[in-house]
Amino acid sequence: MSDESEDDLILADLPDDELVQQMFDDLYDGLKPEIEEAVHILLDRGWAPYDILTKALVGGMTIVGRDFRDGILFVPEVLLAAGAMKGGMAILKPLLAETGAPRVGKMVIGTVKGDIHDIGKNLVSMMMEGAGFEVVDIGINNAVEKYLAALETEKPDILGMSALLTTTMPYMKVVIDTMAAQGIRDEYIVLVGGAPLNEEFGRAIGADAYCRDAAVAVETAKSFMARKHNQMATA
Amino acid sequence: MTDHLSRRLAETPVIMADGATGTTLFNMGLSSGDAPELWNVDHPDRIRALYRGAVDAGSDLFLTNSFGSNAARLRLHDAADRAFELSRVAAELGREIADTAGRDVIVAGSMGPTGDIMEPMGTLSHARAVEIFHEQAEGLKAGGADVLWVETISAAEEYRAAAEAARLAGMPWCGTMSFDTAGRTMMGLTAADMVAMVDRLPHPPLAFGANCGVGASDLLRTVLGFAAQGPDRPVIAKGNAGIPKYVDGHIHYDGTPDLMARYATLAADCGARIIGGCCGTTPEHLAAMRAALDAHTPGPRPSLDDITAALGGFSSASDGLDGADAPARTRRRGRSPRG
C-alpha cells in the first residue's frame, strides 16, 4: 500500500461523472474496497443497480478487456480487476434480481475432462459477468454428462468450453457430437477457447466460434445474442 | 562430479532434444481427457515406443512421460497419491531406453505446471507448490533421470517453486516457459523478464528457454529475445510443429518435417544450444531436424524477417520487447495501484 497523498482522494466528494471515471481507474487497478465503496455511494445517490452495472462496472471492464486483448494488460492484472468487479457485483446482484433488470444472456462454462486449467475459463467467466451476462461456472474436468446436465438444469443461451492442453482439446468435439446426437446442438451457442486452439479448430469440431481470449469471448457472445434476438424478432 | 547434461554441453555445440509426447500418445490410442502418465504403469510398452521413437530419430535427450505426474494434476484422475510412483516409473522406462541406445542419451524428467494459480492472484502457496514439485522430482530422481526438465510454465512464481524443488531434490534442472500470449507468457513475462528472473535464482537451471507457445516462428522470436540479453547459460528451443488442426478425428499439427528442419537450424543460429520440438513434432520431424542440424554450417543470427520468410508470420505484431507497446493508459488521478 502507498501513503501517497493521492490516496486521500475522497470518493464521496466526487460528482457522479467523475466518480464513474474514478471507478474505471480503480477497476483497472484492481482496487476492490474502492469499487465497493463507490457502488454504495452511487446507490445512496439513487442510481438504479442496472445503471451502476452497465455504466460503471461494465464500462470499466470494457477498458480492461480492450487492453487485455491488445496485449497491454496480462492475466494477473485482469484477475485483480475482475476481483474488484466481483466485489461490486456482489452488492448489486441481489438488487438486480429484485428490480428485474434486463438480462443480457446466460452462459454455462466449464473446462473439459482431463483438464485442470481454469485460468482462462475464470477470466471468461468474470469478463462475461462484467459485461452483464449471468454465468454458471461448472468448474474443471467436466465429462460430457456434466455439461449436458448443466444445460438441462440451467437452460443457458451459451455453452462455453475451455481446454489448455493438446491432450484435452479434442474432448470438446466429444461434447458437441453428443449434443448433436441428442438433437440439442442447435439450441445453444457453443463457444470454445484455450491456448492450443484456433479458429479453424473451432470450426472443425462444430463450435459456433473460437474465442482467442476473454475479451473476444465477450464480443462474440454479444454478437451471437444480438443475432439470436433478431431471429426471434423476425420469426 | 559433473552431471550428464553439463558434460554433453561442454562436448557438443548443439544437443537435439525430442518432440511431442501428448500428440504421439494420442496416435497410440490415448483418449482425450485421460492421464497419459497412467500409461507408465498400464502400458509401459507404449511409453518405451514413445521414447524409442525420439532416440531412433536421433535425439540426444528425451523427456519422460511425467508432465502431469504431480499431485495437483493427478487428483483429477483420483491418482494424487501416485505422483511419486508414476514419476519414478516414467524415468525408469526412460533409463532403460537410454542405456540400451548404443550411444549417449540423456533422460530428462519432465515436470509440467500444477495447473493452479499461485498466490497472491490464486490459491496455491509457494510452500505447497514446492512440495508438489519436490515429490515429483524425487520420483524422477529415484527412477534415474539425469536432469529435471520443468516446462510450459507461465508464472515466475511457479518457475521459482520448481527451482526450489530441484534444489531440495539435489538435482540439476532445466526450465522452459510457454510464450503464448502476444509474445509473452500468459502471465505477461517477456523473454527479457525471464532472463532476469532466471539470473536471480539461488539454484539456477543448467539451461533455460521456451517451449510450446504458438508455432515455430513465435518461438524463435522469443529465442532472439533471450539472446539479446546475453544470457549466462545455454538457451533451449522447443517449438510446436506449426499450429493444431483437426483432421479425421485427431489433432494434426500443420508444420511439415521440412519446416521443422529449417526451424532447427534457425534456432541454432539464433543461439539456442538445446533444440527440439513440442506438440505435433513426430519422429519423422525429428529425423529431418537431426539431418539438418548435422549438415548445418553455423550462420549469422537471423533477423525477424529471415524467420518469417522461412517459417511464416508471427501471431502478434510485438513481443513486448521492441518498444512498440501501446502507451500505458493515462489515468485521471495518480492513485498508486496495488502498493
Tell me: the pLDDT tens digits for A23-44? 999 999 999 999 999 999 999 9
Interval B269-319: pLDDT, tens:
999 999 999 989 999 999 999 999 999 999 999 999 999 999 999 988 888
> B109 and B152 in contact (C-beta within 8 Å)?
no
Q: What is the pLDDT of residue B70?
A: 96
Contact (CB<8Å) A72/B115: no
pLDDT confidence band for B337 (50 / 70 / 90): very low
More confident residue, B208 or A115: B208
Q: What is the pLDDT of residue B333?
A: 55
Q: What's the angle, vertex CA A188, arms to CA A187 and CA A189, rounded to 5?
A: 140
pLDDT confidence band for B120 (50 / 70 / 90): confident
Interval A185-226: pLDDT, tens:
999 999 999 876 788 889 989 999 999 888 889 999 999 999
Interval B124-150: pLDDT, tens:
999 999 999 999 999 999 999 999 999
Domains recognised in chain A with CATH numbers: 10-101 (1.10.1240.10), 103-235 (3.40.50.280)
Report the C-alpha gap between B203 and B199 in whole angstroms. 10
Report the C-alpha gap between B106 and B97 in whole angstroms. 10
Q: What is the pLDDT of residue B149?
A: 98
Q: What is the pLDDT of residue A3?
A: 46
Contact (CB<8Å) A77/B36: no
Q: What is the pLDDT of residue B323?
A: 65
Average pLDDT along chain B: 92
Q: Residue B208: in which H helix or E strand, if any?
A: strand B207-212
Contact (CB<8Å) A28/B187: no
Q: What is the pLDDT of residue B329?
A: 58
| Residue in this structure with the C-alpha cell 529435471, named with its chain if needed | B148
Alpha helices in B143-210 (DSSP H): 156-169, 191-199
The one-letter code for the residue type at B134 is: H
* 3-state class (DSSP) for residue B35: coil
Q: What is the pLDDT of residue A15?
A: 96
pLDDT confidence band for B27 (50 / 70 / 90): confident
Is B250 part of any domain? yes
- A33: burial class by Cβ within 10 Å (0-12, 13-18, 19+)? exposed
Number of domains into which chain B is organized:
1
What CATH number has the domain bearing residue B294?
A: 3.20.20.330
Give the closest of A21, A174, A213 to B32, CB-based. A174
Is B337 part of any domain? no
Checking if the pLDDT of B328 tops 60, the result is no
Of A60-69, B39-48, B306-315, the one with minimum mean pLDDT is A60-69
Q: Is the peptide bond before B300 cis (omega within 30 degrees of 0)?
A: no
pLDDT confidence band for A166 (50 / 70 / 90): confident
Checking if the pLDDT of A11 tops 90, the result is yes
- Among A73, A144, A165, which would you mutate to test the B interface (most chain B Cβ atoms within 10 Å of its Cβ)? A165
Is B111 part of any domain? yes
Checking if the pLDDT of B331 tops 70, the result is no
Taking CA atoms, A56 is separated from A86, A99, A173, A218, B154, in Å, by 13, 18, 38, 17, 32
Q: What is the pLDDT of residue A1?
A: 45
The strands making up B106-111's β-sheet, listed across from edge to edge, are B15-16, B272-277, B235-239, B207-212, B173-177, B147-153, B106-111, B61-63
Q: Which positions 181-220 of A are in contact with B (Cβ < 8 Å)?
A: 195-198, 200-201, 204-205, 213
Contact A171/B at CB under 8 A: yes
Nearest C-alpha in B relative to A198: B244
Interval B177-187: pLDDT, tens:
999 888 999 89
What predicted TM-score, i.e. pTM, was given to this entire model? 0.84
Q: What is the pLDDT of residue B220?
A: 97
Question: Which neighbouring-strand residues pair with A101?
Answer: none
Give the closest of A74, A164, A170 to B187, CB-based. A74
In this structure, the dihedral spanned by the alpha carbons of residues B307, B311, B316 and B321, taken in order and rounded to 10 degrees, is -20
- Among B27, B34, B76, B333, which would you mutate to test the A interface (most chain A Cβ atoms within 10 Å of its Cβ)? B333
Interval A76-120: pLDDT, tens:
898 889 889 889 989 998 888 787 777 789 999 999 987 766 777
Checking if the pLDDT of B60 tops 80, the result is yes
Is B329 part of any domain? no
Per-residue DSSP letter, B282: -
Domain limits for position B63: 4-311
Contact (CB<8Å) B23/A166: yes
